[in-house]
């Protein structure tokens, strides 16, 4: 695990190599967060990532959301997504559960134009399904904001896995 001193001592290139994958397929978030260094704490580092996506325009935010995979999909996932989804039991769904996820993924994408985002670390497949069912009928503007909040939770978890408090 790195310390915040280790993070602050990194060159911009090393920082982007170390954190470019924190926001799914979106190294631009790490480039923006890098510009705000040095960080006083791990929490400040997390806030720099959040500030980076909050300062981005709508199109960049939408591209970031769309870079995330559908949950419980058979598609190719990043190593992070594979581990996180497996931790929530999404790799051991019954055929009925898999069909439910597939239906919800399709309905959600059709309604909002982006995948359902849920920071699965610490969650169970039942918690995810409950959230999915509650959110699939949300207002599109509110759901876009919820998706951004979930993206922020995802990179918080990923940073917490790499940087000591």
Give catalytic residue positions: 68
Q: What does the alpha-carbon distance between residue 96 and residue 56 come to, in Å, rounded to a whole number?
A: 39
Q: The tokens of 155 are what?
A: 């990179």
Q: The tokens of 49 are what?
A: 């990532």
3-state secondary structure of 59: helix
Phi-psi region of 136 (alpha: psi -120 to 50; beta: other; left: phi over 0): alpha
Q: What does the alpha-carbon distance between residue 146 and residue 138 come to, in Å, rounded to a whole number?
A: 10
3-state secondary structure of 70: coil
3-state secondary structure of 163: strand
Q: Rounded to the nearest 10 degrees, how much is the dihedral formed by the CA atoms of 148, 58, 29, 128?
A: 20
């Amino acid at each position: 695990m790195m310390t915040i001193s280790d993070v602050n001592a990194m060159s911009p290139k090393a920082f982007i190599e170390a954190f470019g994958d924190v926001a799914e397929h979106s190294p631009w978030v790490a480039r923006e967060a890098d510009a705000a260094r040095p960080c006083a704490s791990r929490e400040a580092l997390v806030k720099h990532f959040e500030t980076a996506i909050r300062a981005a325009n709508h199109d960049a935010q939408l591209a970031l959301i769309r870079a995330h995979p559908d949950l419980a999909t058979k598609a190719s996932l990043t190593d992070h997504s594979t581990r996180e989804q497996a931790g929530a039991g999404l790799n051991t769904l019954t055929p009925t559960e898999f069909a439910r996820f597939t239906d919800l993924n399709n309905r959600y994408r059709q309604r909002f134009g982006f995948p359902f985002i849920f920071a699965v670390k610490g969650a169970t497949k039942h918690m995810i399904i409950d959230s999915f069912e509650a959110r699939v009928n949300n207002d599109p503007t509110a759901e876009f904001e919820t998706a951004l909040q979930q993206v922020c939770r995802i990179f918080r978890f990923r940073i917490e896995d790499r940087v000591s408090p």
